Structure 1
Amino acid sequence: MLPKALTIAGSDSGGGAGIQADLKTFAALGVYGTSVITAVTAQNTLGVTGVHNLPPEFVTQQLEAVLSDIGTDAAKIGMLANAGIIGAVAKKVQEYGLEKLVLDPVMVAKSGDHLLAPEAREALQRELLPLALVVTPNIHEAQVLTGMSISNLDDMEKAARVLHGYGTPCVIVKGGHLEGVATDVFFDGSEFHHFAGERFLTKNTHGTGCTYSAAIAAGLALGLPVFEAVQQAKEYINTALAFALDIGGGHGPTHHLASLYRDRDRYRVLQEVQEGVALLEGEPGLGALIPEVQSNLLAALPYARGPEDIAALPGRLVKCNAGVRAVGLPAFGVSRNMVAALIPAMEADPGVRSVMNIKYSPEIIAACQKVGLATASFDRQAEPEDYAARPENRYREWGTVAVIEERGSVPDVIYDRGGWCREPQVRVFGQGPRQVAEKVLCICRSLEKS
């Protein structure tokens, strides 16, 4: 039977937070979602323009309707607005024995608008924290609930201990509002664990907390232990943030379905690589373009974030007489050589999802230009010394990034003339493996004629 998860939260008319975000998250993670609405908000990416809190009696009626018939394997609580609603929810949580309960103590919207009455904070602490299995405050919320000032990881750990003392077995203090690496502190009463996340340079973070807590609840509904549910949720929210949607004029939402769209296309991408390889193997003179490190043809899933989302040949394309042969069948996660060139190209232009490396020579670059391919180059010696050591640049080759930033677009070809112990390399980009293969064939035939 399909696992079930319940969200008890407010409605966001903009669709990026609240029950709308929660239900999308449940669906993306394979869980059937039900909802109990505590408040209806008029809001968009710019802010909240109105809030209508539902009567506690009607919140109770919704809870009774869902739990008496459908039931739930896990639940999350978001916006509760006032003490009356908090009391109604706490009563039903106890009555139905909801044990896998994630509490996201929503107090302020991304826009700065208050979503929990000040007098309700004590009720939240007194009535719901002891009932929750997991609580997920951000820095501001943790400060309000503990009365502490939090400015670093040590403070976050101290706050987690205090919150655990209120009766919640597992505490996650989210560190996204602090400077530096976005680190969440997890405390289960005996051990601390730090979940270091990427710092995404985007203003489109609306609904991040709702989505994260909903993903944890989904993991619990699926039967995962708390720690594993948090790990899965962290990976899910990182992908949603990496491909956040630039919608509206303010803080846009995270992309709740990015991971789902990415995984849907795995078989198709493998087939596309195989088709591109077949074209390359059928060209008799292509061996002239194969460098000493050999070549590879890569294709990425939509919303790719690393090698595990990029298909390539495990043994690369190697010379065979005057032609080439593929070693192995296309697979995901088998090549890291050109991933750092493809990912920044995709970031700049999501339509570019494939790349192949070929040999460098002035004659090959001339052949590229002769067939009308846009070319650009970079000097490996100009790379900043600390560039590769920065975590955010793990899959972002400096030269490719520099060329794209300077041009404002992704050219057909980016090349370099090598460096200390580094072979020169030509990168051929395209929308898919077939288009890249066709560009490489054009280069090969032009070179043969010159």
Structure 2
Amino acid sequence: MPPIVCVIAGSDPSGAAGLQMDLRVLSLLGVYGTSIPTAFTVQGLDKGIAWEPSPPDLFEKALQTVFSELPVKVVKCGMLGTAEVALKLAEVLPSFSGKVIIDPILSASSGLFLSEKKLVSVLRERLFPLATLVTPNIPEAEALLGLKINPGDEPEAVKALKALGPQAVLLKGGHRKAEKVQDFFFDGYTLKIFEHPRLEGNFRGTGCFLASAIAGLLAQDKALVSAVEEAISLLELALYSAQSSNIFPPPANALVLWERLSGGRKVLEDLMAAVEKFVSHPVRPLIPEVQSNLAYALPYARKVSEVAAFPGRIVGYGNSARPVGCPRFGASSHVARIVLTAMRFEPSKRAALNIRFDRKFIEKAQNLGLKVGWFSRRDEPEEIKAREGGTLSWGVRRVIQELGLVPDLIADEGDLGKEPMIRILAEDPFKAVEIALSLL
């Protein structure tokens, strides 16, 4: 049986937060989620209307039943609502030997208060000392500490929260209106700051997603700081994906986790099938001196390790070519950077193939109606040249910004010690191979 996480939270009928988001995240991480509702809320996607707490005695019986019959590894607490329900939990948790994540939800993103005033003191005095990790945002931390947390005060605030008794604290900085979001982690020994880009949009369910992802990763025996770091990356991915949602305000897209889990194998299979098609033709004229490579990224990839390619490249062989080795993720940082840069402008452009520079190929591409962009390495700023691997990202970004779109081909005529090259950008490796073959 997969590891079990018990979720203790309010029910959100919109499905964008609460128990519904928690269980969705856990399932997609391969964790068995059981749940005990603390409240029934009435919420839409952009408004909160009302809520009623669960009967405390019934809540207590549910707790005792779950803990006595299931081998729960992690408890994840979200909305508790009332001091009475929180006290029932505080009476049961001391006998629980697993990890406890507390996301101290006091209000919904819509502004609806989801807690009574007496709850704050129960959280501080009774529940925080039992927690492995607490994950307040800035407004919640201010309510818990009874003070204003100004920009720059976060390191002291996270230490003050740690002094309330939890083993560790993650102070979430998403409410700050800064270009970069900073989350502050403190375990009593090390202060670690996780910094990531702010994504445009007002999202729902972000705190629930993050705390549940941490709980699910801990249930899989990840170390705490590693679980926090990975969960933050997963949330960033879910928000990046949610930007294209037709729901407003968009909930964090937990389903992107399934795309990742199922997509990895498909990426590798598609790469192998596409390269077999490529080398079944007389493609030797397309292969440059440094050889070719074909790369394909996972949906919403942000890192080189999320882009697969051939570790030994695709080398000339007779009148055709052969791939060296099987495709794997992180195999080519050069081609991966091309893909990642293009995806920042057009996420659907997930594949790239580099081929030999020949003006005949450029002319034929233009005659076929393909869009072609150029950059010159001679225009590259010195600070970019000095940075290992910076040239290709700079060149691709410059072309896209000048054209206002991601072209089908990006060419450069090389420089001292740098071979001229054409890079094909496409939605998938089959399309990249199709474009390459059309140039012969």
Assess, with a 3 A threshold, how the Cα gap between structure 1 residues 80 and 308 changes in structure 2: closer, same or farther.
same
Is 1:439 matched with 2:438?
no
Assess, with a 3 A threshold, how the Cα gap between structure 1 residues 324 and 241 changes in structure 2: closer, same or farther.
same
Q: Residue 305 of structure 1: CA displacement?
A: 2.5
* 1:10 aligned counterpart, secondary structure: strand
Q: Residue 425 of structure 1: CA displacement?
A: 3.0
User: Identity percentage over the alignment?
Assistant: 36
Is 1:274 matched with 2:272?
yes
Assess, with a 3 A threshold, how the Cα gap between structure 1 residues 320 and 263 changes in structure 2: closer, same or farther.
same
Question: Cα deviation per residue 1:145-204 (whole Å; 9 max; x = unaligned)?
Answer: 112332345x22222222222221212222233335433222222x12314232142315
Is 1:85 matched with 2:85?
yes
Question: Cα deviation per residue 1:227-278 (whole Å; 9 max; x = unaligned)?
Answer: 3332332333233233235445643122223233223233332222222222
Is 1:240 matched with 2:264?
no
Separation in 1, partners of 2:164, 2:386? 41
Q: How does 1:204-219 map to 2 (within 5 A)?
A: 204-219=202-217
In structure 2, the residue matched to 1:143 is 142
TM-score, structure 1 as length reference: 0.87
* 2:170 aligned counterpart, secondary structure: strand
In structure 1, the residue matched to 2:354 is 357
**How many aligned residue pairs are there?**
438
Q: How does 1:375-386 map to 2 (within 5 A)?
A: 375-378=372-375
Match 1:338 to one of 335, 340, 350: 335
Assess, with a 3 A threshold, how the Cα gap between structure 1 residues 61 and 420 changes in structure 2: closer, same or farther.
farther
Match 1:165 to one of 134, 149, 163: 163
CA contact (8 A) 1:110 1:251 kept: no
Which is worse superposed, 360-369 or 379-388? 379-388
Separation in 1, partners of 2:131, 2:123? 11
CA contact (8 A) 2:352 2:424 kept: yes
TM-score, structure 2 as length reference: 0.88
Q: Residue 439 of structure 1: CA displacement?
A: 1.4
Assess, with a 3 A threshold, how the Cα gap between structure 1 residues 107 and 379 changes in structure 2: closer, same or farther.
farther
CA contact (8 A) 2:45 2:249 kept: yes
Assess, with a 3 A threshold, how the Cα gap between structure 1 residues 215 and 430 changes in structure 2: closer, same or farther.
same
In structure 2, the residue matched to 1:447 is none
Q: Residue 320 of structure 1: CA displacement?
A: 3.6
Separation in 2, partners of 1:395, 1:27? 41
RMSD: 3.0
Assess, with a 3 A threshold, how the Cα gap between structure 1 residues 422 and 394 changes in structure 2: closer, same or farther.
closer
Question: Which amino acid is the alignment partner of residue 201 of structure 1?
Answer: L
Separation in 2, partners of 1:399, 1:42? 51
Q: Residue 5 of structure 1: CA displacement?
A: 0.4
Is 1:299 matched with 2:299?
no
Assess, with a 3 A threshold, how the Cα gap between structure 1 residues 409 and 53 changes in structure 2: closer, same or farther.
farther
Assess, with a 3 A threshold, how the Cα gap between structure 1 residues 348 and 289 changes in structure 2: closer, same or farther.
same
CA contact (8 A) 1:121 1:145 kept: yes
Segments of structure 2 that go 5 or more residues without pairing to the other structure are none
Question: Cα deviation per residue 1:281-309 (whole Å; 9 max; x = unaligned)?
Answer: 2332x333333433211112233222222
Segments of structure 1 that go 5 or more residues without pairing to the other structure are 445-450
Q: How does 1:155-234 map to 2 (within 5 A)?
A: 155-178=153-176, 179-189=178-188, 191-234=189-232
CA contact (8 A) 2:12 2:41 kept: yes
Which is worse superposed, 423-432 or 310-319? 423-432
